[in-house]
Each structure stands twice: as C-alpha cells, then as structure tokens.
Amino acid sequence: MRDPYSETPEQGMANFEKYMKEIATSDTSNKRKEIQEKVKVELDHIPDWPEPQGELRMIYNARRENSLGKKATSKQTAKEVLEKCISDLKPKYPDYQFKYDEDFFNECG
C-alpha cells in the first residue's frame, strides 16, 4: 500500500487527478448519468406549475432515481413511482388535480 505522506505535492496531485479520471470514466458514473437523463426526459412530461406540481416533480425526481439505482429494493415503473408520489401528496393538496402526460406514463408502464 502506498504511503500518502511519502509523496511530494506534485505526486499527490497527479495521483488525485488519475483517481478523478477513473471515477469520471467508471461504469458507475456512466450509469448515474444515464439514470439522470432518463428521469429528465420523464420530468418533461410533468408540468412544473402551479406549486403543487413543483413539489410533485421534486419528489418524483428523487424517488425515480432511487428506483432505477443499483440499491433499489424493487423495480418500479415510472407510472408506479408517479402514482405513489401523487398519493403521498394528496393529503397535503386534497382538492388539487395533479397533471401529467397520461399517454406517456401509460406507455412507460
């Protein structure tokens, strides 16, 4: 094992830069970007206004990324995640009708 205290600042920076390049090109980093892109496309089908919609989008974004990640406990479709978000927000906004592209989410499953 390398002793970090025995390297010069230049060697330490070179090792750090090498480490950062490895992270940037790792499968994990690429998978994370794929997940974020997928969720971004899905969010394009959920309006962001008025305010309850913004809250829906925020919750959906976090939950959907988690549902697609490698630590997900079960595989959920985009529609299942969206429906769960809406049902959790309904007590806070009982009279509000949440809007989303139904055709898109029906095709997603």
pLDDT at 70: 83
pLDDT per residue of the chain (109 residues) written in tens, 0 to 9: 556 566 677 776 677 677 666 656 656 778 899 999 999 999 999 999 999 999 999 999 999 999 998 888 778 999 999 999 999 999 999 999 999 999 999 998 6
Distance CA 62, CA 50 (A): 20
Tokens of 42: 């899905």
Q: Is residue 1 part of a domain?
A: no
Q: Is residue 46 part of a domain?
A: yes
Q: Report the length, in residues, of the chain.
A: 109
Which of the 8 DSSP states describes residue 92?
T
Q: What is the total count of domains within the chain?
A: 1
Q: Is residue 99 part of a domain?
A: yes
Residue numbers of the domain that contains 37: 9-108
Q: Is residue 2 part of a domain?
A: no
Q: Is residue 58 part of a domain?
A: yes
Q: Is residue 3 part of a domain?
A: no
